[in-house]
Each structure stands twice: as structure tokens, then as C-alpha cells.
């Protein structure tokens, strides 16, 4: 039996920004309720409140977040797959972020309602805002 999860919607409209890997983490990136930063040899990626990101920054705007209510045990397997598979089947793209305690899925804001329906049809519970 597949794990049925409970998710909640994050309230902020988010954007995904790309900066040069040598760029210092800007102050605007760490404002708001939710932000995530990943630096690799190739880039500095920032997920943050869309209202905080400057227009001149390379970004993919208009994302909404879904939080998997946790904490999730590290021994659990297939959590992201169980969420991503039905969304992929419905043609809904995701951007996934994992933390120590849980996972987050970002979907385009205009697909949030459809993503909610798809995840509910797959047996997951979405908490009301």
C-alpha cells in the first residue's frame, strides 16, 4: 500500500531565481516565510517570495508551494515519487525541495487547483488554507 500524505499550501507566491555561483547571497533572498538556497559549481539557485526578487534577476516566477506535513522519517521511500507521478501523469510540472524534516513541491500558481485535485484523487489529503 502506498503512503498517503497530508499536505498544506504555502501562502506566498514564489519565484525561482538563478544567479552566478560566485554571487553573494542577497538580503532580499532571505526575507519572507519561505526561502531555499542551493549553491553548486554551476549556479546559485534561490527560491523566495516573488515580491522580494528584483525584476533584473533571472527568474521563473509564479510558483506556489505544497508542504508535506511531517516530520518524515529518513527510512521512508517513495515520498516524492508518490506525489510526482500523479502530477506528471496530469502534465503538471514540479520543482521539489527537501529539508531535514519534510518535502515541498512547487507547482505553477495557475496549476495549483488542478494539482490539488490530482493529489486528492491519488489519495492524499490537502489541508484547507
**CATH code of residue 63:** 3.30.2130.10
**Biggest distance spanned by C-alpha atoms of the chain:** 47
Structural domain of 90: 6-122
Per the domain annotation, does 19 fall within a domain?
A: yes
Which grid coordinates belong to 118? 490530482
Domain count, the chain: 1
Per the domain annotation, does 54 fall within a domain?
A: yes
Which grid coordinates belong to 33? 516565510
Sequential DSSP letters for 43-96: -EEEEEEGGGS-TTSEEEEEEEEEEEPSPPPTT--SHHHHHHHHHHHTT---EE
What value does the mean pLDDT take over residues 13-34?
A: 95
Per the domain annotation, does 47 fall within a domain?
A: yes
Give the range among 74-88, 94-108, 113-127 with minimum mean pLDDT: 74-88
pLDDT digits (tens, 9 = 90+) for 50-83: 999 999 999 999 999 999 988 777 777 678 889 9
Q: Nearest Cα to 123, choosing from 83, 72, 90? A: 83
What distance in Å separates the CA atoms of residue 62 and residue 89, rounded to the nearest whole number?
21
Per the domain annotation, does 1 fall within a domain?
A: no
Beta bridge partners of 8: 67
Give the range among 9-23, 26-40, 65-79 with minimum mean pLDDT: 65-79
Amino acid at each position: 500500500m502506498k503512503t498517503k500524505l497530508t499536505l498544506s499550501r504555502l501562502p506566498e507566491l514564489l519565484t525561482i531565481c538563478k544567479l552566478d555561483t560566485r554571487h553573494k547571497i542577497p538580503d532580499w533572498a532571505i526575507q519572507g516565510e519561505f526561502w531555499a538556497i542551493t549553491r553548486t559549481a554551476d549556479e546559485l539557485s534561490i527560491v523566495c517570495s516573488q515580491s522580494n526578487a528584483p525584476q533584473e534577476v533571472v527568474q521563473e516566477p509564479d510558483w506556489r508551494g505544497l508542504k508535506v506535513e511531517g516530520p518524515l522519517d529518513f527510512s521512508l521511500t517513495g515520498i516524492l515519487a508518490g506525489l510526482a507521478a500523479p502530477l506528471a501523469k496530469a502534465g503538471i510540472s514540479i520543482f521539489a525541495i527537501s529539508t531535514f524534516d519534510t518535502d515541498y513541491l512547487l507547482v505553477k500558481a495557475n496549476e495549483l487547483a488542478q494539482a490539488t485535485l490530482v493529489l486528492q484523487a491519488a489519495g492524499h489529503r490537502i489541508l484547507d488554507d
